[in-house]
Amino acid sequence: MYRLLPILLLLPPLLAAADDIKLTPAQTQQAGILTATLAEQKAAASLRLPAQVVVPPAQIEVVAAAVPAMVAVVRVAYGDTVKQGQPLLRLQGGQLLELQRDHLSARAQAQLAAENRRRDEALFADGIIAQSRLSTSVAVEQQAAALASEKRRALQQAGMGESAREVTGVAELRAPFDGVVLEANAQPGQRVDAMTPLLKLGRLAPLWLEIQASPTQAAGIAPGDAVSIAGCAQPGRVTLVAPQMQAASQSLLIRAELRKPEGCIRPFQYAQAEIRSARKLDEKTWHLPAAALVRHEGQVWIFVEVAGGFRPVAVKLLDETPDTALVAADLAGQTRFAVRGASTLKASWLGLGGNQ
């Protein structure tokens, strides 16, 4: 023998699927049934969709070895927060020695060329030398300055300060900006070739949300729509609704930007994004709570409030998430329907509350 739920005893059984469910206001309240208008649901419509937090590509920078070297010291690890100018790695190697030597030599040649040019300018002013000799001195100085600049730039790329006045063969790679270590591939004692990636750094503001949506869900979303994440004080905005499907998931990519995440989410985190669309749905299309829908005989139904109770009305299900459903129904916006208690109404509708 089945044990009856007490709430079902309040509701009269009905044998015909198309009959109205007769309920007094007191029975409706006692059964915990709540109603709202379709228009109210459309105004408050939102979608909850899965999202992943990613760092925009423009905010990622790779720290690499400029020349073949050995990793002597690694000062940071994956996930560490770093400040601009903070030491990250120390490299050692013979080619670093050559870079320092070449830079010091080129700088000394540039200084000598500048002194020769100044001396020849004084001699030319006194009429002692010809114009051609002064022009040669100027050209030599320019070439020496260009070579010194090239060697200085190579030294900087290798992580060595240009002010070094001795040859050490040691380079200290530093953080180019405030950020976080997204990848750490280097190990002490590792020998690396030129342009070998050692670390990957990223700025954490703003961050992107990459959201997966079905074509039906994406049809109601547009750039500028508000996106919120639980725990984040500042909402984001949709920046992209991709025009093409993703082959693997057969979904559409929706990208949103959180300009000030302030630590409420982290890179690569999975989260639920709530999108509040500013675009109006079609006249006979409605966003409803998923709990307002029941299924019977292969159809989806809602319970519309009528005089003296409720009436089951079949609707066309367009799309559904765990929290919301998109349906099409030829109903007026002021139609009231049950947003809570639909399962109780279904039990009464199908005659499960009486002769059991």
pTM of the model: 0.58
Domain count, the chain: 4
Radius of gyration (Cα) for the chain, nearest Å? 36
At 15 the pLDDT is 35
Mapping DSSP to helix (H, G, I), strand (E, B) and coil, where does residue 146 land? helix
Residue 249 pLDDT:
81
**Statement to judge: residues 102 and 160 lie in one domain:** yes
Q: Report angle CA 27, 317, 337 to the nearest 5 degrees.
A: 25
Q: Sign of the CA dihedral 121, 123, 124, 130?
A: negative
Count the helix, strand and coil residues of the chain and give each as a percent rounded to the nearest 5: 25, 35, 40
Name the domain boundary from 250, 276, 302. Answer: 276
> Quick one: pLDDT at residue 279?
59
Tokens 């830079």 correspond to 103
Residue found under tokens 């030294």: 155
In CATH, what number is assigned to the domain containing residue 72?
2.40.50.100
**Element at 240 (helix H, strand E):** strand 236-245
Short-list 150, 173, 15, 195, CA closest to 85 = 173
Distance of CA 235 to the CA centre of its chain: 13
Q: What is residue 10's predicted lDDT score, i.e. its pLDDT?
A: 42
Domain extent at residue 136 = 94-168
> pLDDT tens digits for the chain (356 residues)?
333 334 443 444 333 344 788 888 888 888 889 998 888 776 555 778 889 999 999 999 999 988 888 999 999 999 899 999 999 999 888 877 788 788 888 888 989 999 999 998 998 888 888 899 989 989 999 998 898 888 888 777 777 765 556 677 788 889 999 999 999 989 999 999 988 899 999 998 899 999 998 887 777 788 888 898 988 888 899 999 988 888 888 888 999 999 988 878 888 889 989 887 765 666 788 888 888 999 998 999 999 999 989 999 999 988 777 777 888 888 888 899 999 999 999 988 887 654 33
Whether 301 maps to a domain, the answer reads yes
Are residues 135 and 257 part of one domain? no
Q: What is the CATH number of the domain that holds 10?
A: 2.40.420.20
Residue 5: predicted pLDDT: 38
Q: What are phi and psi of 245, to 5 degrees?
A: -75, 150
Determine the distance from the C-alpha atom of residue 47 to the mean position of all C-alpha atoms in its chain, rounded to a whole number: 17
Q: How far apart are CA 209 and CA 13, in angstroms?
A: 49
